Amino acid sequence: MNILLVGAGLSGAIIGRTLAEAGHNITIIDGRDHIGGNCHTERDAETNVMVHVYGPHIFHTDDEEVWNYVNSFTTFMPYKNRVKTTSQGQVFSLPINLHTINQYYNKTLRPAEARDFIENEIADKSITDPQTFEEQAMRFVGPDLYKAFFEGYTIKQWGCSPTELPASILKRLPVRFNYDDNYFFHKFQGMPENGYTPMIEAILDHENITVHLETWFDPDTAGEYDHVFYSGPLDGYFGYKLGRLGYRTLDFEKFTDKGDYQGCAVMNYGDREVPYTRITEHKHFSPWEEHEGTVCYKEFSRACEPEDIPYYPIRQVKEKALLSDYVKLAEETGGVTFVGRLGTYRYLDMDVTIREAMDTAAAFLESAAKGEKMPAFVQNPL
């Protein structure tokens, strides 16, 4: 079959590769002038540091099949994400752990003592059924740690008060009563030695795959293909005719320096008065490399306008209602399957994107073998 994939990010590349290996003719288009989607990496011309152009990407997963898949296309180097935060004039360790608690309260508590201290002296136990993000945080860590580490950061990141966000955002107890400062719990963690773009280039390197960059999707051409997989914005496919799904976008203010600017890859800024949410220093994402210069990005979050890059789907009640209308439209369309972070309007980590792309390709091959039609969604976006 002749199959069109819109988007040369992880979703398009992995679905394309799997179907190419099954003998189909694959055309992949992307409006940008590079492959890799938001995972795109490139060397900074001034410092030669590998930079993550659309924000830092750290690979972490418990899915062994996904881990083996990415390792079959590139070499992964060990990398553990350790995040610091500057708040109220001090630097603390994140996620909130025993070091953070002892430093904040000027104590030398051991794990059981710290748990007892937070639960019985600090947490707001009057909140029995937390409904909002703020109540959830107050219930678990009390007002001091909430203000220092959650309130200002969340207002900057989401542009609204934590009282307007659901408690579910802060699902588990956001505190560790030990000194483990590894940001992620996953079994497999790492960073591709030469960045993500060469990895995706290797995935796309197949005789049945043709890639066209700087080519935006024209819905009128969809009929020329036996099937289309679309990893662009769901509302964009329909010309935004029902309205726009809300996103947060990011502005990155780049600056360079010599040596080591901040001593770590990610420094959050918890105070509301500091307009950016964090500074990322990209040489620390490749700790096996050495560079004299360094390149950093101040990250600012704001509401996404039509000409901006959509980053984080908002998915509140209003957006979900509109999403549901677009899902109905998509299901009536036929011949196109919506995939990936934009096509299904969800925040997806890379490992989840890869898992879903593998499952979508498998579902397509199965339905083609049975002569059945491919649905608009393999993963329910609602």
Ligand X SMILES: Cc1cc2nc3c(=O)[nH]c(=O)nc-3n(C[C@H](O)[C@H](O)[C@H](O)COP(=O)(O)OP(=O)(O)OC[C@H]3O[C@@H](n4cnc5c(N)ncnc54)[C@H](O)[C@@H]3O)c2cc1C
- Residues binding ligand X (CB under 6 A): 6-12, 29-32, 37-39, 55-59, 216-217, 231-232, 236, 250, 311-312, 340-342, 348-351, 353
Q: How far is the CB of 341 from ligand X (least distance, A)?
A: 4
- Rounded CA separation 254/293 (Å): 13
Closest contact distance (angstroms) between CB of 340 and ligand X is 2
Q: Which is nearer to ligand X, 3 or 10 (CB)?
A: 10
Burial class (CB within 10 angstroms; exposed 0-12, middle 13-18, buried 19+) of 55: middle
* Cβ distance to ligand X smaller for residue 38 or 294: 38
Minimum distance between the CB of residue 273 and ligand X, rounded to whole angstroms?
Answer: 23
Write down the least CB distance from residue 122 to ligand X, Å.
Answer: 30
CA dist list (Å): 303 to 42, 235, 307, 323, 366:
27, 17, 11, 18, 40
Name the 3-class secondary structure at 164.
helix
Question: How far, in Å, CA of 99 to CA of 218, rounded?
Answer: 54
Give the residue with the Cβ less far from ligand X, 93 or 353. Answer: 353
Closest residue by beta carbon to ligand X: 37
Nearer to ligand X, 188 or 217 (CB): 217
The three-point CA angle 97-98-99 to 5° equals 90
CB atoms within 10 A of CB 48: 13
Distance, CA of 189 to CA of 61 (rounded, Å): 7
Give the catalytic positions in this structure.
172, 176, 248, 278, 299, 347, 349
Q: Tell me the C-alpha distance between 156 and 150, whole Å.
A: 10
